[in-house]
């Protein structure tokens, strides 16, 4: 019983550290956010198995911050670690995998690696369309990302097609009155 309480205490500490990191991130204090996420990750890795969802989420949070700081190689490393765990332990959690694929794509766009970014976005979109055949907000986001990448590549007609599909999907699934 004492060991279980000890475990929960440490995991709760990690949750609190990650929460503080999230607040710092929202304030644009990326170094502070990164420090708290890294502390939380160390605790989570000590007590959870390597593919635990909280670890995956924290890896993606760290990658997201690294991207904001322009540390693209580091960001890719964290997102790819998260993706490898998701594909190994949660292969049917398409929504989460698609999100990570889009995070990787965003980093690659920042590096002007448009073809590679497009591949990741298209993988995300394929998963989303298979899982949500009529579309949803995440599908619209992937369509939008693809449209923006195509625009960056100067493929304007294709870009407009994807952006119009994104608009149509958002309008169809918007919870707000139009």
**pLDDT at position 4, please?**
42
**pLDDT at position 6, please?**
44
Alpha-carbon distances of 72 from 40, 66, 101, 123, 154, rounded to whole Å? 22, 7, 15, 20, 23
Nearest to 171 by CA among 131, 143, 145, 129: 143
Distance linking the first and last C-alpha atoms of the chain: 55
Sorted by where each starts, the structural domains of the chain and their CATH numbers stand as: 112-178 (1.25.40.10)
pLDDT over 80 at 88, yes or no: yes
pLDDT over 80 at 177, yes or no: no
Token pair in block for residue 113: 């690696």
The number of residues in the chain equals: 178
| Residue pointed to by tokens 């949500």 | 132
pLDDT tens for residues 5-20?
Answer: 345 568 999 999 999 9
**pLDDT at position 75, please?**
99
The residue ranking higher by pLDDT, 176 or 94, is: 94
pLDDT tens for residues 43-87?
Answer: 999 999 999 999 999 999 999 999 999 999 999 999 999 999 999
Contacts of 157 (CB under 8 A, 6+ apart): none
22 half-sphere exposure, CB direction, 13 A CA radius:
11
pLDDT over 60 at 21, yes or no: yes
Residue 178 pLDDT class (50, 70, 90 cuts) = very low
Residue 173 pLDDT class (50, 70, 90 cuts) = confident
Contacts of 80 (CB under 8 A, 6+ apart): 104
């Amino acid at each position: 019983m004492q060991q279980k309480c000890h475990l929960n205490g440490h995991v709760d500490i990690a949750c609190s550290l990650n929460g503080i990191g999230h607040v710092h991130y929202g304030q644009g204090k990326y170094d502070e956010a990164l420090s708290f996420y890294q502390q939380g990750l160390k605790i989570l890795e000590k007590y959870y198995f390597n593919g635990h969802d909280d670890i995956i989420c924290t890896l993606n949070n760290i990658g997201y911050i690294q991207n904001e700081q322009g540390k693209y190689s580091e960001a890719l490393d964290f997102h790819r670690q998260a993706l490898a765990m998701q594909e190994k332990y949660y292969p049917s959690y398409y929504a989460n995998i698609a999100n990570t694929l889009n995070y990787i794509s965003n980093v690659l766009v920042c590096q002007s690696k448009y073809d590679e970014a497009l591949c990741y976005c298209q993988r995300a979109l394929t998963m989303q369309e298979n899982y949500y055949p009529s579309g949803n907000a995440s599908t619209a986001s992937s369509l939008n990302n693809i449209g923006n990448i195509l625009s960056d590549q100067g493929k304007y007609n294709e870009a407009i097609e994807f952006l119009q599909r994104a608009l149509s999907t958002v309008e169809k699934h918007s919870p707000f009155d139009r």
